[in-house]
Amino acid sequence: YGALTRRIICLDGTNGAINAECCQLFALRDDLQANLFHGGLCTAEAHESLRLTFNDAIAISPALEAQGEFGGGGADGSIALFADIETSYHPNIGLDEIIQLQQPILARHNVSVADFIQFAAAVGLSNCPGAPQLTAFVGRADATQPAPDGLVPEPFHTSDQIFSRLSDASNGAFGVIQTVWLLAAHTVAAANDVDPTVPGSPLDSTPSLFDTQFFIETLIRGTSFPGTGGNQGEVLSAVKGTLRLQSDQSIARDSRTACEWQSFVNNQAKAQTAFKSVFQTLSTLGQNLGHLVNLGKRDNVNFHRYRFRHLRRVLPTSLPGSVQQACAQSPFPSLPTDPGPPTTVAPVEAARPA
Ligand code: HEB
Ligand code: CA
């Protein structure tokens, strides 16, 4: 403690870092912002980059290994390195698109594919007002083989299935509570393939804000589908134009998680700390932490564009449904209602080349 840490000046002559490994990340950050995130937007490219981290990292199973089978390598880039194989797995549907958009940027920089996927998401999420500054690491080893199929949760899985899969993947680090924390990611999200007739259907009314609307809106009784009914993994949603995943609905109402879910309502600060914490675990699954360089604040790879802001936390008055109280211990907090006119949330525009 108290040791002097010297900052080095990177070869670009302007940026400083504690770890030389971090120097190249300034250029990577700028390339991502300019050529993937349209100058710094929280649009489909940022959402899909975040989803990619989960679908890459969660594909690891100590339980399979215990049976003598290969269980996947976690956050090892396998989803992009073996894209032909892994994007054909059902729960990874649609991810070929973001992998392709990221590819030319990846090719210009000297980082592992595993590092690239996690770093791109950290930069992308920084474009979403309200988001925490995620901790980035470099030094991950890349996959040498694809993850097996069957390890990424599906929206039609029961909460039991999802809880046990996440616990297995993380050696118990993701309990039922941390699973709720991870789902804060669905505040900046849309579904393209659950109902292909309405691609880009947001999972909450504010898909470009990292706020707590997702936790509020999923607790309201659903009354309509954004498109057609009868899709596997979809249930009725409350806010017109949004899509509700069956898995989000179940976890929001499960007796083991309902109070934790409700605790995020109107608690922006908690959503930030909780997601930051679980993302750190998620983004390093299967990797040896001792080999990774942590890009802390002091490395000054400042990819945090927004400070904490007061974000809209409202119960839209235009809702046809009402709150479904699922937490037995404490009542749903009282929130201001939205005075605005009844709205339909617009779809998130499809990802496209910059
Ligand atoms: Fe998620 C989206 C599922 C978790 C992130 N997801 C999504 C979807 C689905 C899901 C189905 C839609 C897709 C399409 O496109 O269609 N998830 C899911 C499940 C789970 C999850 C089942 C378990 C519970 N996620 C998760 C996590 C994360 C995520 C953990 C992170 C971290 N997701 C996400 C995002 C999105 C999604 C970001 C959006 C994308 C877009 O927008 O595109
Ligand atoms: Ca949101």
Residues in the 5 Å CB sphere of ion ligand 2: 187, 204, 206, 209, 211, 213
Residue of the nearest CA to atom 10 in ligand 1? 155
pLDDT confidence tier of residue 308, bands split at 50, 70 and 90? very low
pLDDT confidence tier of residue 4, bands split at 50, 70 and 90? low
Answer whether 295's CB lies under 8 Å from 19's CB: yes
- Residue % of the chain over a pLDDT of 70: 90
Would the pLDDT of 311 be above 90?
no
Give the pLDDT confidence of 177-187 residue by residue, as tens digits.
Answer: 999 999 999 99
pLDDT confidence tier of residue 255, bands split at 50, 70 and 90? very high
Quote ipTM for the complex: 0.99
pLDDT at 79: 98
Rounded to whole angstroms, the Cα distance separating 120 from 336 reads: 36
User: When comparing pLDDT for 135 and 115, which is higher?
Assistant: 115
- DSSP 8-class letter at 297: G
Q: Which of 71, 81, 148, 84 is nearest to 114 (CA)?
A: 81
Would the pLDDT of 325 be above 90?
yes
Query: Which stretches of 108-175 are DSSP H helices?
Result: 113-125, 159-169
pLDDT at 335: 84
Would the pLDDT of 210 be above 60?
yes
Ligand 1 test: best mutation among 42, 49, 51, most atoms within 8 Å of CB? 51
pLDDT at 339: 65
Would the pLDDT of 126 be above 70?
yes
Atom of ligand 1 nearest to the CA of 202: 42
Would the pLDDT of 292 be above 50?
yes
Would the pLDDT of 317 be above 70?
no
Ligand 1 test: best mutation among 135, 163, 186, most atoms within 8 Å of CB? 186
Would the pLDDT of 100 be above 50?
yes
pLDDT at 5: 66
CB neighbours (10 Å) of residue 103? 13
Answer whether 165's CB lies under 8 Å from 55's CB: no
Lowest mean pLDDT among 21-25, 169-173, 239-243: 21-25
Would the pLDDT of 295 be above 90?
no
Mean pLDDT of the chain: 90
Burial class of residue 237, CB neighbours in 10 A (0-12, 13-18, 19+): buried
Atom of ligand 1 nearest to the CA of 348: 42
Dihedral (Cα; 292, 296, 300, 301), 10-degree rounding: 50
Q: Which of 151, 230, 205 is nearest to 316 (CA)?
A: 205
Would the pLDDT of 319 be above 90?
no
| Domain extent listing, the chain | 15-338
Atom of ligand 1 nearest to the CA of 91: 11
pLDDT at 133: 86
Q: Which of 156, 200, 181, 157 is nearest to 45 (CA)?
A: 200
User: When comparing pLDDT for 14 and 306, which is higher?
Assistant: 14
Give the pLDDT confidence of 37-76 residue by residue, as tens digits.
Answer: 999 999 999 999 999 999 999 999 999 999 999 999 999 9
Lowest mean pLDDT among 7-11, 224-228, 241-245, 292-296: 292-296
Would the pLDDT of 2 be above 50?
no
Instruction: Supply the CATH classification number for the domain 15-338.
Output: 1.10.420.10
The average pLDDT across 255-283 equals 95
Q: To 10 degrees, what angle do helices 113-125 and 44-57 make?
A: 140
Pocket of ligand 1 (CB under 6 A): 44, 47-48, 50-51, 53-54, 94, 153-155, 162, 182-183, 185-186, 188-194, 233, 245, 247, 282, 348
